[in-house]
């Protein structure tokens, strides 16, 4: 059961009040007791003087005695309560403040003990959750830096190698060598462009201008742009989208970018003579688009990872193809920003792949 801190503080004040009332009641009881009556009756020898003055003195002494007892009781109660409040509130707050400072200084493994089920316990729990989230962000940031450094190294080593070959006279200073350098520079450029795009998507600063568009229109526009490339590589690129399909509510440029990436990948990973088919169909309140190829396929253990940044099933092959390894990561961001989903399926290596995305339909 959750005990509220408010209730605990209220109970503390109540205890002080009860102690005060008990001491007052005890003092009144004492003043009305036989002991006092006896002192009034036999007051002559001790106090001397007229009885009225004696009564007043005895009353004052009684009240003073009662106040001393009340004072001591109140100090003891206040002391006990302040120890309790210090242990329940002040010490945990100090521990939290110290832990926050260590966390800010970069110690992401910093945690505080969770004591009790009241607000202090909840605060400590929230702090630990926040520290955990910060730690994970930091781990991802480090991994990203390491990945980027690794991705930059390959084209840079290539360029360095060509330059050394040129200056040593091992490579001929002709269009072929310059062309190879240009390919590496293109790769770097693509990597930087995709990283920029990913960081904008990650920060959520990419506005989507949604409009209602027939699916066929978006699919055909993307297919048209890649038809020649597919043809040149000996591949058949076809569209199977029924006319009567409901329209989708999307940012046309962004969804076209996703389709270009999926069809581009299908072209890259399908050896001739192959076939790439872009299908679309209604799927409840959504429209589903499949990009299906008869290419190299993807083994089951890689399927779940292909949307991770820089993940490549076959590193050397994908790099030589010139991809940044961020295409599917960006595609997933864009589709999810539309409230849709994207997934990959393949019966296995050498048996083709299908990338499917769903988008909200206009009804």
Binding residues (CB under 6 A) for ligand ADP: these are 265-266, 269, 293, 295-296, 298, 306, 311-314, 318, 323-329, 353
Q: Which tokens go with 77? A: 């109660």
Between residues 122 and 337, which has the closer beta carbon with respect to ligand ADP?
Answer: 337
For residue 338, the Cα-to-chain-centroid distance in whole angstroms is: 20
Inter-residue contact 363 to 245 (CB < 8 Å):
no
Find the shortest distance in angstroms from Cβ 264 to ligand ADP: 8
Inter-residue contact 322 to 183 (CB < 8 Å):
yes
Residues in the chain: 363
Between residues 30 and 311, which has the closer beta carbon with respect to ligand ADP?
Answer: 311
Which position's Cβ is nearest ligand ADP?
323
Q: Which tokens go with 13? A: 């004040």
Between residues 134 and 260, which has the closer beta carbon with respect to ligand ADP?
Answer: 260
Backbone angles phi, psi at 288, to 5 degrees: -110, 130
Find the shortest distance in angstroms from Cβ 240 to ligand ADP: 17
Please tell me the distance from the alpha carbon of residue 301 to that of residue 305, in angstroms, as a whole number: 8
Between residues 112 and 266, which has the closer beta carbon with respect to ligand ADP?
Answer: 266
Find the shortest distance in angstroms from Cβ 182 to ligand ADP: 19
Tell me the H-state helices in the chain.
Answer: 5-31, 34-41, 43-47, 51-85, 91-104, 119-168, 175-202, 215-232, 252-268, 300-303, 315-321, 327-337
Find the shortest distance in angstroms from Cβ 199 to ligand ADP: 16
Between residues 119 and 314, which has the closer beta carbon with respect to ligand ADP?
Answer: 314
Q: Which residues, other chains included, contact 65 with Cβ-Cβ below 8 Å and sequence gap of 6+?
A: 27, 30
Between residues 86 and 193, which has the closer beta carbon with respect to ligand ADP?
Answer: 193
Please tell me the distance from the alpha carbon of residue 300 to that of residue 353, in angstroms, as a whole number: 11
Between residues 213 and 263, which has the closer beta carbon with respect to ligand ADP?
Answer: 263
Strand 235-240 relative to strand 341-345, pairing: unpaired
Find the shortest distance in angstroms from Cβ 147 to ligand ADP: 13
Please tell me the distance from the alpha carbon of residue 332 to that of residue 303, in angstroms, as a whole number: 14
Find the shortest distance in angstroms from Cβ 325 to ligand ADP: 4
Find the shortest distance in angstroms from Cβ 210 to ligand ADP: 25
């Amino acid at each position: 059961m959750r005990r509220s801190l408010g209730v605990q503080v209220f109970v503390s004040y109540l205890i002080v009040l009860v102690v005060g009332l008990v001491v007052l009641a005890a003092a009144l009881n004492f003043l009305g007791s036989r002991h006092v009556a006896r002192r009034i009756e036999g007051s002559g020898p001790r106090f001397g003087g007229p009885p009225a003055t004696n009564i007043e003195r005895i009353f004052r002494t009684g009240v003073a005695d009662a106040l001393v007892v009340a004072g001591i009781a109140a100090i003891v109660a206040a002391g006990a309560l302040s120890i309790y409040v210090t242990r329940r509130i002040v010490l945990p707050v100090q521990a939290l403040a110290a832990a926050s400072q260590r966390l800010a200084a970069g110690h992401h493994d910093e945690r505080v003990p969770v004591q009790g089920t009241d607000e202090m316990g909840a605060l400590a729990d929230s702090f630990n959750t926040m520290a955990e989230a910060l730690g994970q962000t930091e781990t991802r940031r480090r991994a990203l830096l390491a990945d980027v450094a690794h991705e930059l190294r390959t084209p840079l080593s290539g360029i360095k190698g060509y330059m050394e070959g040129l200056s040593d006279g091992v490579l001929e200073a002709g269009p072929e060598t310059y062309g190879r350098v240009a390919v590496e520079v293109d790769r770097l450029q693509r990597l930087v462009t995709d990283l920029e795009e990913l960081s904008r998507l990650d920060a959520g600063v990419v506005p989507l201008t949604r409009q209602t568009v027939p699916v066929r229109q978006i699919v055909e526009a993307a297919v048209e742009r890649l038809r020649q490339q597919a043809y040149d590589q000996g591949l058949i690129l076809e569209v199977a989208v029924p006319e009567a399909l409901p329209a989708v509510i999307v940012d046309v440029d962004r969804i076209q970018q996703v389709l270009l990436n999926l069809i581009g990948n299908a072209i890259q990973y399908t050896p001739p003579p192959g076939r790439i088919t872009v299908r679309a169909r209604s799927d409840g309140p959504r429209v589903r688009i499949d990009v299906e190829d008869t290419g190299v396929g993807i083994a089951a253990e890689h399927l779940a990872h292909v949307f991770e940044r820089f993940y490549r099933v076959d590193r050397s092959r994908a790099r030589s193809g010139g991809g940044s390894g961020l295409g599917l990561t960006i595609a997933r961001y864009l589709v999810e920003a539309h409230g849709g989903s994207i997934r990959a399926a393949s019966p296995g290596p050498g048996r083709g792949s299908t990338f499917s995305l769903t988008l909200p339909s206009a009804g």
